[in-house]
């Protein structure tokens, strides 16, 4: 660090011995720390730490039969929802398979509407939901994040349509 | 395991945040600062304990916090460099009746703060009556008048 030009910033030895070089570093640290805090607030508002434009995401399968709304970033202990939209034939049970790391990273708290039936499928689960008159069905999965790190989940339909989603849980 | 990690993480985060905030921030505790301090405490509590409200967890968290604190004070005792970085040193703000304006600016203070300390500690009302004013490590301003 270059020596200060101004006499005010030179070290004094009386009445106390000072280390102005260090003190100026401390002041600089305070200033940059403040910038970092403001930046962090901005990023939080933008959704880098869940719930915001950077975090809310949607994936769609190639044939358009499956659409999933989810959060890219989540926080350990917090509850969030996964919304699965399925298009199929009218008034028929549609099979939705959730596999991958979903059950390791999350606690499934609630499935709405209540599936017709559910079963385990490998490391994941399968649920059957009834479609409406237009062939549309929706499944709200309320998840409580209890893991930390990155989790990849695959949502698939019996018809073969599938989407993958990657979610990151902060500690 | 996680109670120790939680406590250590919170300790370090708070340490850095309050270093950024500077020594003056909570030194002169106004009513609002007191409320702010309590709100910070509330926000920290959840992260410290998680969803485990057992006696064991509380004891582990408290033990960790105090152990880290003692550990730091032991390191500070051995290494003056570490102590200087962690605690800072005193800074002269007024020298022989002259305000060192550059320093005030960096320390986010103004003459009013010095005069306030001068009035309350020494009963002085003007800067020129002050020989030295020193911003101490704990954020308080010491005022030394002319003999």
Q: What is the 3-state secondary structure (H, E, C) of chain A?
A: CCCCCCHHHCCCCCCCCCCHHHHHHHHHHHHHHHHHHHHHHHHHHHCCCCCCCCCEEEEECCCCCEEEEEECEEECCCEEEEEEEEECCCCCEEEEEEEECHHHHEEEEEEECCCCEEEEECCEEEEEEECCCCCEEEEEEEEEECCCEEEEEEEEECCCCEEEEEEEEEC
Rounded to an integer, the average pLDDT of A153-169 is 92
What whole-number distance in Å separates Cα of residue A69 and Cα of residue B66? Answer: 45
Q: Write out chain B residues lying below 8 Å of A6, CB-based.
A: 102
pLDDT at B2 over 90: no
| Interface predicted TM-score (ipTM) of this complex, two decimals | 0.86
Q: Write out chain B residues lying below 8 Å of A33, CB-based.
A: 16, 19-20
In A72-91, the residues whose Cβ lies within 8 Å of chain B are 77
Of A23, A37, A77, nearest to B91 by CB-CB distance is: A23
The mean of the pLDDT values for chain A is 90
Report long-range pairs for A66-69 (Cβ below 8 Å, ≥24 apart).
A66/A155, A66/A156, A66/A157, A66/A161, A66/A162, A66/A163, A67/A163, A68/A155, A68/A163, A68/A165
Tokens, residue B42: 């509330």
Q: Which pLDDT score, from 0 to 100, does residue A7 have?
A: 83
Domain boundaries, given as residue ranges, for chain A: 13-46, 56-170
Contact between chains at B106 and A24 (C-beta distance less than 8 A): yes
Tokens, residue A38: 């403001």
Contact between chains at B19 and A8 (C-beta distance less than 8 A): no
> In the block, which residue shows the tokens 């979610």?
A167
- DSSP 8-state code for residue B135: E
CA of A20: which chain B residue's CA is closest?
A: B91
What digits encode the pLDDT tens for the residues B4-41? 999 999 999 999 999 898 887 777 778 998 999 899 99
Of the candidates A15, A122, A118, A76, the one whose C-alpha atom is nearest the C-alpha of residue B144 is: A15
What whole-number distance in Å separates Cα of residue B116 and Cα of residue B133? Answer: 11
Separation of CA B11 from chain center: 14
Tokens, residue B65: 């916090």
CA of B25: which chain A residue's CA is closest?
A: A30
What whole-number distance in Å separates Cα of residue A71 and Cα of residue A167? Answer: 7
Of B22, B95, B100, nearest to A30 by CB-CB distance is: B22
Q: Do the beta carbons of residue A112 and residue A142 sit within 8 Å?
A: yes
Q: Write out chain B residues lying below 8 Å of A19, CB-based.
A: 84, 89
pLDDT band, very low/low/confident/very high, at A153 (cuts 50, 70, 90): very high
Of B16, B22, B51, nearest to A77 by CB-CB distance is: B51
Of A8, A26, A77, nearest to B102 by CB-CB distance is: A8
| Residue of A4, A16, A18, A144 to mutate, interface with B, max B Cβ within 10 Å | A16
What digits encode the pLDDT tens for the residues B81-140? 888 888 888 999 999 999 999 999 999 999 999 999 999 988 999 999 999 999 998 889
Rounded to an integer, the average pLDDT of A63-67 is 91
What whole-number distance in Å separates Cα of residue A36 and Cα of residue A38? Answer: 5
Q: Is B20 on the interface with A (CB under 8 A)?
A: yes
What residues are paired with A19 via a beta bridge?
A: none
The dihedral through the CA atoms of B29, B32, B34, B36 has a sign that is negative
Domain boundaries, given as residue ranges, for chain B: 2-87, 91-145
Q: Is B91 on the interface with A (CB under 8 A)?
A: yes
Superfamily name and number for A56-170: Immunoglobulins (2.60.40.10)
CATH topology of domain B91-145: CRO Repressor (3.30.240)
What whole-number distance in Å separates Cα of residue B128 and Cα of residue B88? Answer: 27
Q: How far is the CA of A79 from the CAs of A55, A98, A145, B37, B45, in angstroms?
A: 14, 18, 6, 28, 19
Q: Write out chain A residues lying below 8 Å of B103, CB-based.
A: 8-9
Q: Is B50 on the interface with A (CB under 8 A)?
A: yes
Q: Do the beta carbons of residue B82 and residue B76 sit within 8 Å?
A: yes
């Amino acid at each position: 660090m270059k020596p200060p030009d101004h006499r005010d910033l030179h070290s004094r030895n009386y009445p106390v011995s000072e280390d102005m070089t260090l003190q100026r570093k401390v002041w600089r640290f305070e200033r940059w720390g403040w910038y970092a805090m403001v930046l962090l607030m901005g990023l939080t508002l933008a959704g880098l730490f869940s719930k915001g434009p950077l975090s809310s995401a949607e994936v769609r399968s190639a044939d358009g039969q499956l659409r999933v709304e989810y959060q890219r970033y989540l926080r350990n202990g917090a509850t969030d929802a996964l919304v699965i939209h399925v298009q199929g034939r009218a008034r028929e049970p549609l099979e939705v398979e959730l596999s991958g790391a979903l059950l390791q990273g999350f606690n499934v708290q609630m499935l709405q509407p209540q599936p017709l039936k559910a079963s385990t499928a490998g490391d994941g689960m399968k649920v059957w939901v009834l479609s409406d008159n237009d062939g549309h069905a929706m499944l709200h999965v309320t998840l409580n994040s209890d893991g930390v790190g990155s989790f990849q989940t695959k949502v698939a339909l019996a018809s073969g349509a599938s989407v993958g989603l990657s979610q990151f849980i902060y500690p | 395991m996680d109670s120790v990690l939680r406590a250590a993480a919170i300790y370090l985060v708070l340490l850095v945040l309050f270093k950024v905030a500077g020594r003056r921030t909570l030194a002169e505790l106004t009513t609002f600062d007191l409320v702010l301090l309590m709100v910070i405490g509330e926000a920290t509590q959840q992260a410290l304990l998680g969803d485990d409200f057992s006696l064991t967890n509380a004891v582990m968290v408290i033990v960790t916090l105090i152990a880290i604190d003692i550990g730091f004070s032991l390191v500070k005792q051995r290494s003056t460099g570490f102590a200087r970085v962690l605690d800072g040193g005193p800074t002269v703000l007024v020298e022989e009746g002259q305000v060192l304006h550059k320093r005030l600016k960096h320390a986010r203070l103004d003459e009013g703060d010095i005069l306030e300390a001068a009035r309350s500690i020494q009963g002085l009302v003007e800067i020129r009556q002050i020989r030295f004013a020193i911003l101490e490590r704990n954020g308080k301003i010491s005022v030394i008048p002319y003999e």
